[in-house]
Structure formats: C-alpha cells, structure tokens
C-alpha cells in the first residue's frame, strides 16, 4: 500500500513540475500574439486556441499537485483548531461523501467525452485554424483521474490517522 501511495504522490509531483513548463510556453504564445497584433498589426490565427489548450492542460494537470500539497482553498474556521485525528475524521467523511462521488462523475464523464472526441475527430472551431480538440479532452480526463487518485490517497492516509492516531508517512 505504501508503494502505491508513494507512486501516486510521485505522479502528482511530476505532473506539477511539468506544468510549469506549460506556463512558460503559454507566456511565449501570448507575448507573440501581443507583439504580432499590436506591433505589426498582423494577429496570429493560432494563438487563441493554443493559449486555450495550454491553459486548460496546465490547470487540469496541476489539480493533483495542489491536492498532494494540500493547496486547494479550504474554509478552515474550525478545521485548523482540530487535533490531527479530528482533521482526519473530517477528511475521511468529506472525502467519502463529497469528493469521491463528485470526482467519480467527473472522471467518468470526461473519459466518455474524450473517447467521443477521438471517435468523431473533433476540432476546435473558434478560428480558421481548426486544431484537434481530442488531445485536450484526453488531458482533461487524465487530470481528473490523477486528482481522483491523489484524493483517494489522501483519504486512505486520513483513515490511517483516524485508526492509528498517527500520521501515515
């Protein structure tokens, strides 16, 4: 079990470290568009869809990294004052009642969406460039799946803390 959880953590960290390069590419794409549009009065045809795909991929692949490092926004008026076991109780209950059902729906729907997109060879139609949409839909499905795995790993760790009254790692 420990190896599986560490592998999930490794994938989440790898995903988070990789995403920063997408941010750099996104900055370059947007800078190119601004220079071409306002400097040369010749906007690009590809910058909008490229920035949309890069930004979407960046967010989708960063969700699991944020979950791994407990960086998602939380209303912690009471949570911060709880003992580790109390926090674990809240994490397990909320994880089982809210996180897993919602992420299960998102993972299922996103994979159906991605498979359908591949089947019909879906294209983006916002400009005349028409890039394929299916790689982006696949990345989103992968992102939701990785978030689900990382969330499940967190629930298992919290369950261990709840039962043993000590941290898993």
The backbone torsions φ and ψ at residue 76, rounded to the nearest 5 degrees and listed phi first, read -115, 55
What does pTM read for this prediction? 0.89
| pLDDT tens-place string over residues 41-87 | 999 989 999 999 999 999 999 999 999 998 888 777 888 888 989 99
* Cα dist from 10 to 28, 85, 132, whole Å: 28, 25, 30
Residue 167 has pLDDT above 90, yes or no: no
| pLDDT tens-place string over residues 82-122 | 898 999 999 999 999 999 999 999 999 999 999 999 999 99
CA-CA distance, 60 to 68, in Å (whole number)?
Answer: 14
| pLDDT tens-place string over residues 141-151 | 999 999 999 99
Torsion sign, CA atoms 126, 130, 131, 136: positive
């Amino acid at each position: 079990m420990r190896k599986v959880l560490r592998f999930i953590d490794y994938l989440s960290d790898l995903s988070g470290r990789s995403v920063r390069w997408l941010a750099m590419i996104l900055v370059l794409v947007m800078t190119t568009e601004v220079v071409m549009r306002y400097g040369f009065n010749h906007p690009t045809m590809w910058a909008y869809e490229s920035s949309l795909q890069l930004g979407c991929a960046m967010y989708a692949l960063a969700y699991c990294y944020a979950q791994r490092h407990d960086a998602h926004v939380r209303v912690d008026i009471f949570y911060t004052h709880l003992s580790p076991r109390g926090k674990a109780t809240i994490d397990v209950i909320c994880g089982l009642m809210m996180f897993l059902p919602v992420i299960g729906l998102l993972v299922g729907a996103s994979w159906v969406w991605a498979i359908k997109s591949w089947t019909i060879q879906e294209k983006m139609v916002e400009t005349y460039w028409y890039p394929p949409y299916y790689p982006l839909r696949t990345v989103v499905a992968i992102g939701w799946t990785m978030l689900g795995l990382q969330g499940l790993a967190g629930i298992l760790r919290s369950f261990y803390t709840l039962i043993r009254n000590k941290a898993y790692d």
